[in-house]
Structure 1
Amino acid sequence: MVKVSIDDEKETGSSPYASTSSSRTSSSVSLSSVDSDTPESESFYDRLVALVDIVPPQTRHTISSRLSKTTSFLHRSGKVVGNLVWIVTTSALLVGLPLALILEDEAKIVQEERNMLAQQQGVQQMIGGSPYPGSDANKQQGLVPPGF
């Protein structure tokens, strides 16, 4: 703890702040010659603990209650956000992943149908038929039944 004592500068006469004319012009008296009131073994924690005496009890209680309320609010909101993230993630895995797999399979099937249609059109072109259904070449070969 810090010990407070009152020194009367008039009695000692060795203050570096004295207003005599000799001390104003002399550089032999400086602030470095003044002894420090804090002991060398005092830690930063000891200084913080000593600050408790400076803050009034009502202010300390107000600061403590606000800090407690803020901490509990952050804890509760963190839990809510964590739960929401969990719900969204599991929903995406349970609904979105199978949906994506089904859409991918459907795209493969559509691509295979296109390939089959392209192969059929290629075969018809090689035979000599027209690639367009209902054209004159198909009617001459008899591929389209009469009446259509």
Structure 2
Amino acid sequence: MVKVEIVDEKDNSPYASGSSAAASSSESLSSVDSDISNDDETIFDRLAALVDIVPPTTRHKITSNLASAGSFLKTTGKVVGNIVWIVTTSALLVGLPLAVSLEDEAKVVAQEKEALEQQAGQQMLSSGLYPSPASSAPKPLVPPGF
């Protein structure tokens, strides 16, 4: 059976409201402070103790939101990585040979154009449309009457 007993807090409490009780207290604030501070406690321990401040339902919501955000980022990163891989390999396997063949074709077209220009130039020289280099020398300007 449980026995209920009423305890008068004014008599037993070291923090009694009377000034005489506070002055006559055997414990000072410095001794209480030194009891609380523990040299073995780290910052991580103090932060871990703060977990009790947040209610369990809120902690569960926060962890589930962080977990879902993390899985979303992981999935998105994987998809983006696969897309980048496909684009780069396609560019290397299709684009690079295509660029090389287009460059070779441009060189062949330029050589053919140069050959046609040379043929056209020789035909003009042989037909006489252009004067020969010896006859194209400038005549000295001599005033009439000399």
Offset of 1:127 from its aligned partner? 2.1
2:74 corresponds to which residue?
75
Bigger Rg, which one: 2
Offset of 1:92 from its aligned partner? 1.0
Counterpart Cα distance in 1 of 2:38 and 2:127: 108
2:110 corresponds to which residue?
111
Any idea what SS the aligned residue of 2:80 has?
Answer: helix
Identify the structure with bigger relative contact order (alpha carbons < 8 Å, sequence gap 6+). Answer: 1
Any idea what SS the aligned residue of 2:102 has?
Answer: helix
Structure 2-normalised TM-score? 0.63
| Structure 2 counterpart of 1:95, one-letter code | V
Q: How does 1:55-94 map onto structure 2 within 5 Å?
A: 55-94=54-93
Counterpart Cα distance in 2 of 1:112 and 1:9: 108
Tell whether 2:18 aligns with 1:8: no
- Please list the CA deviations of residues 48-99 of structure 1 after superposition, one character each: whole Å capped at 9, or x if unmatched: 1001111111111111111111111111111111111111111111211111
Counterpart Cα distance in 1 of 2:46 and 2:116: 86
The 1:127–1:45 alpha-carbon spacing in structure 2 relative to 1, beyond 3 Å, is: same
Offset of 1:117 from its aligned partner? 1.3
How well do the aligned residues superpose, as a CA RMSD in angstroms? 2.8
Any idea what SS the aligned residue of 1:108 has?
Answer: helix
Unaligned runs of at least 5 residues, structure 2: 1-12, 24-31, 131-146
Offset of 1:118 from its aligned partner? 1.7
Counterpart Cα distance in 2 of 1:40 and 1:115: 89
Query: Percent identity at matched positions?
Result: 57
Offset of 1:114 from its aligned partner? 1.3
Offset of 1:47 from its aligned partner? 1.1
Counterpart Cα distance in 2 of 1:41 and 1:79: 43
Counterpart Cα distance in 1 of 2:85 and 2:62: 34
1:98 corresponds to which residue?
97
Offset of 1:126 from its aligned partner? 2.8
1:124 corresponds to which residue?
123
1:54 corresponds to which residue?
53
Structure 1-normalised TM-score? 0.62
